[in-house]
């Protein structure tokens, strides 16, 4: 089985799906990035994951972990009967537990397969952060880096019955200043001239040491800290009022260090999707499904997400 998987990974990466067929299955980026990573031990735990354009009936799904030479070092299966279905989506549960450790520094790919064919992946870099040479704490520790530093997405909340964008992104210990265990952050939207058109409230936005965790923030028209309680929400109509190129910067509160700079394009009165969210994007392995799970819902469902990329 390992040989077959290895061959599949080597010869199928980058192949195009049939232009005449239904969309090729793809695992959602949100659920892949939300996989559990333990920086202390180097352990990764894969559990429920969402599949878009899921085949009908039983689903033959698996996940493999490859090193930088495309050698399969771990492989696991999912149960063929989805836990839930909603439209073209299905949630798959692991035949588990699916737990493994990556403790050798380097680059790895976590690749998801349908019927033995790779359809989605995320890449991770493993760093060793402690040698374990402290006699009082002889434990090696690690850090996972990857797409958490690159992507974010916008979803539409509602405020006074109108769309109110919410930015979702990931921050972690790598984003802290040396020796710090927590800090705040601020989000600032600038136009092509560098003028601030919106920013988050001074009293919102915190993160802490450890692996990357998803956080959310909303933007408001420019205001002082004193004006925060009555700050005017920066609605979708404000975002798309003028076509152009914008940058959405995430900075640390303590020292104003730039952490992320997401690129935003507004054209024809709409925030543009990334090219990677187009169904025709190649390689399909890196296609980003422009949907995320409904937050706080008591049923399985999805909403549109506009993915952004950091420079």
| Other CB atoms within 10 A of residue 64 CB | 21
Classified as helix, coil or strand, 214 is strand
**For the CA atoms of 5, 102, 210, 29, what is the dihedral angle to 10 degrees?**
-10
User: Which of 78 and 40 is assigned the larger pLDDT?
Assistant: 78
Neighbours of 54 (CB within 10 A): 22
Q: What is the pLDDT of residue 134?
A: 80
Length of the chain: 311
Tell me the per-residue pLDDT of 145-190, one tens digit each, with 9 for 90 and over: 999 999 999 999 999 999 999 999 999 999 999 999 999 999 999 9
Q: How is 251-294 classified by DSSP, letter by letter?
A: EETTT--EEEEEEEEEETTEEPPPGGGSTT-SSGGG---SEEEP
Q: Are strands 196-199 and 182-190 parallel, antiparallel or unpaired?
A: antiparallel
At residue 168, the 3 state secondary structure works out as strand
Q: Which residue has the tokens 């692996």?
A: 211
Is the distance from CB of 208 to CB of 194 less than 8 angstroms?
no
Q: Report which of residues 204 and 171 the model is more confident about.
A: 171
Q: Please, are residues 90 and 84 in contact by the beta-carbon 8 Å criterion? A: yes
CATH of 2-147, one of 2.60.40, 1.10.246, 3.40.50, 1.10.287: 2.60.40
Across residues 276-292, what is the average pLDDT? 97
Give residue 257's pLDDT.
Answer: 97
Residue 107, token pair as written in the block: 């680059």
Q: Would you state the pLDDT for residue 17?
A: 42
| Nearest-angstrom CA–CA distance, 90 and 302 | 11
For residue 1, pLDDT beyond 80: no
Band of pLDDT at residue 16, cut at 50, 70 and 90? very low
How far apart are the C-alpha atoms of 22 and 140, rounded to whole Å?
Answer: 47
Q: For the chain, which residues make up each domain, given as ranges?
A: 2-147, 150-272
d(CA 13, CA 284): 8
Average pLDDT over residues 261-275: 98
Task: Give me 224's structure tokens.
Answer: 């002082």
Q: What percent of the chain has pLDDT over 70?
A: 93
pLDDT digits (tens, 9 = 90+) for 95-152: 988 999 999 999 999 999 999 999 999 999 999 988 877 888 788 889 999 999 999 9
The CATH code belonging to domain 150-272 is: 2.60.40
2-147 and 150-272 in the same fold: yes
């Amino acid at each position: 089985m390992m040989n077959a998987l290895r061959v599949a990974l080597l010869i199928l990466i980058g192949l195009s799906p049939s232009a005449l067929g239904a969309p090729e299955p793809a695992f959602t980026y949100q659920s892949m990035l939300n996989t559990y990573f333990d920086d202390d031990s180097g352990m990764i735990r894969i559990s429920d994951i969402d599949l878009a354009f899921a085949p009908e009936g039983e689903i033959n799904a698996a996940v493999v972990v490859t090193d930088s030479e495309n050698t399969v070092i771990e492989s696991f299966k999912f149960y063929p009967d989805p836990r839930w279905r909603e439209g073209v989506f299905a949630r798959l549960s692991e035949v588990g537990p699916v737990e493994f450790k990556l403790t050798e520094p380097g680059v790895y790919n976590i690749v998801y397969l349908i019927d033995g064919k790779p359809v989605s992946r995320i890449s991770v870099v493993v760093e060793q952060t402690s040698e374990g040479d402290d006699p009082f704490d002889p434990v090696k520790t690690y850090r996972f880096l990857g797409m958490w530093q690159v992507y974010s997405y916008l979803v539409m909340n509602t405020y006074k019955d109108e769309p109110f964008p919410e930015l979702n992104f990931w921050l972690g210990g790598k984003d802290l200043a040396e020796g710090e265990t927590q800090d705040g952050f601020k989000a600032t939207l600038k136009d092509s001239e560098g003028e601030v058109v919106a920013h988050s409230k001074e009293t919102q936005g915190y993160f802490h040491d450890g692996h990357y965790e998803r956080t959310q923030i909303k933007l408001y028209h420019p205001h002082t800290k004193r004006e925060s309680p009555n700050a005017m929400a920066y609605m979708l109509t404000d975002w798309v009022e003028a076509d152009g190129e914008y940058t959405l910067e995430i900075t640390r509160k303590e020292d104003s260090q730039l952490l992320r700079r997401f690129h935003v394009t507004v054209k024809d009165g709409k925030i543009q999707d990334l090219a990677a969210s187009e169904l025709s994007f190649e390689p399909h392995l890196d296609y980003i499904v422009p949907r995320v799970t409904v937050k706080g819902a008591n049923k399985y469902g999805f909403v549109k997400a506009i993915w952004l990329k950091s420079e």
